[in-house]
Amino acid sequence: MNNIASEKYTPLTVDTVIDYTRTRPELRAMFREGEVLEAVEVGDGNLNLVFKVWVQADPKRTVVLKQALPYLRLVGDSWPLPTDRARIEAAVLAIEYRLVPQHTPKVYFYDPDMYLTAMQNLNNHIIMRKGLIQGIKYPHFAEHIGLFMACTLGYTSDLVLDYKTKKEEVARFINPELCKITEDLVFTEPYRKTERNPYHKEIEPQVLALQADDALRSEVAEMKEKFMTQAQALIHGDLHTGSLMVNQTETYAIDPEFAFYGPMSFDIGAVIANLFLNYAAHEVRTIDPDTRADFRKYLTDTVIQLWHVFEREFQPIWAQVDHINMPKGYQERYMLRLLQDGAGMAACKMMRRVIGLAGVEDIRGIENVAERSTAASLALNIAYELMMQRHELRKIEEMVEIVNDSRPTYPWRE
């Protein structure tokens, strides 16, 4: 939880990063003496420097170096951030790699003086959000992410870990500053007047109506309470489509620096929310009705399928728990609570992306204001219904029905 940089800490630059790689024994097999290396800084996040380094003559030999900055880029030096998150990210990647190596970038080393992790360069993959915006389908994604979530969530929970390891892991992954960002940006600020809510003015009536809705804010407060108190599993904590690297055959989850022991439903809700945000964006991004309907069916089928995969991959966990003290009825209610809370978390994540500080390109990237309002208002309406109907949800298919039944408040075309 140290917030002060170590004495040996220096932020790297494209000029110094190559020399740095030369000092690391772990990279000697990849980068041989005398070879010319090239580097570029590609960080598009707000918290870190991200370098890619490769052999000029053989670019397949390559590594990513991710170095934590001691402040949040988005708002400059004014929001200091503990470099401890770099330790957390490296430790979580190691756990995820043990559980699901096929969906986790391999870590070569972590440098605690530089708050730097060297890891596999996923250079055959793109950020999923960018692909979805272009209407690209990833046919194996549901299978992959369902498995990833079942393994990383189930196997770090009390269902599998012994009583002592679990509690020591809770202490090891206390992550106050990054949790605070989520508490503020996801659960607090979207529901109050603040200058840090940069939604476009065209949707203001709808935003003000949500902010005035006591019943909605009660539900949000309950989700926030779960986020702050439910130490259920080691969650990724930021599992949106910008943290997913994909291609037609593979899926990797990156950037678990927000990880801590929290509610499983927060990760589940994050994935679902970002698929539904994309669904809302295609209201205006895809003009041809058949193409739009087809891609949306892909998105909603993906949500249905990822949930069923998640349930299926949880079966080996349920098979190893004690059926006397965790009878079938408990197991079913456990999964149902994940579904209902997942809907609630998804709702919060969707609303914050429309109203709050950190938007998503799917919607904020729509240039035409009327179109953007249409997509934004549809996202808000989906989120609202997910939240208010979540206690009645019994099946994932009902969640998709809610989405299909939703309409934008500001339609821009007939």
Among 164, 201, 367, 413, binds a second copy (CB under 8 A): 164
CA 260, CA 263: separation in Å to the nearest integer? 9
What Å distances lie between residue 28 and 67, 106, 195, 309, CA to CA?
A: 20, 16, 49, 40
Does 130 help bind a second copy (rule: CB under 8 A)? Answer: no
Assigned token pair, 383 = 């989120």
Rg (CA), the chain: 21
Cβ closest to a second copy, residue 252 vs residue 260: 260
Question: Cβ–Cβ contacts within 10 Å for residue 205, how many?
Answer: 12
CA 71, CA 243: separation in Å to the nearest integer? 20
Cβ closest to a second copy, residue 105 vs residue 256: 256
Does 301 help bind a second copy (rule: CB under 8 A)? Answer: no
Minimum CB–partner distance for residue 248 and a second copy (Å)? 38
- Nearest alpha-carbon partner for 67 in 50, 91, 88, 85: 50
Query: What residues contact 407, with CB distance under 8 A and at least 6 apart?
Result: 378, 381
To which residue do tokens 């110094």 refer? 16
Cβ closest to a second copy, residue 87 vs residue 282: 87
* CA triple 154-384-218, angle to 5 deg: 75
Does 35 help bind a second copy (rule: CB under 8 A)? Answer: no
Considering only residues 194 to 223 of the shown chain, the ones binding a second copy according to CB under 8 A are 214-215, 217-218, 220-222
To which residue do tokens 């957390």 refer? 88
**Selected range binding a second copy among 32-40, 49-57, 161-169, 305-313, rule: CB under 8 A:** 161-169
**Selected range binding a second copy among 8-16, 92-100, 173-181, 366-374, rule: CB under 8 A:** 173-181
Cβ closest to a second copy, residue 235 vs residue 400: 235
Minimum CB–partner distance for residue 236 and a second copy (Å)? 17
Does 170 help bind a second copy (rule: CB under 8 A)? Answer: yes
Minimum CB–partner distance for residue 217 and a second copy (Å)? 5
Burial class (CB in 10 A: 0-12, 13-18, 19+), 300: buried
Minimum CB–partner distance for residue 83 and a second copy (Å)? 16
Q: According to DSSP H, which parts of 321-356 are helical?
A: 328-355
Cβ closest to a second copy, residue 184 vs residue 401: 184
Does 192 help bind a second copy (rule: CB under 8 A)? Answer: yes
CA 145, CA 152: separation in Å to the nearest integer? 10
Q: Report how many residues bind a second copy under the rule CB under 8 A.
A: 43
Considering only residues 306 to 335 of the shown chain, the ones binding a second copy according to CB under 8 A are 324-330, 333-334
Q: How far is CA 314 from the centre of its chain?
A: 20
Residues 227-266, mask of contacts with a second copy (x by CB under 8 A): -xxxxx----------------------------------
Q: According to DSSP H, which parts of 17-159 are helical?
A: 17-22, 84-99, 128-133, 141-154
Minimum CB–partner distance for residue 120 and a second copy (Å)? 31
Does 163 help bind a second copy (rule: CB under 8 A)? Answer: yes
Query: Which residues of this chain interact with a second copy, rule CB under 8 A?
Result: 1, 158, 163-164, 166-168, 170-171, 174-177, 179-180, 183, 187-188, 191-192, 214-215, 217-218, 220-222, 224-225, 228-232, 324-330, 333-334
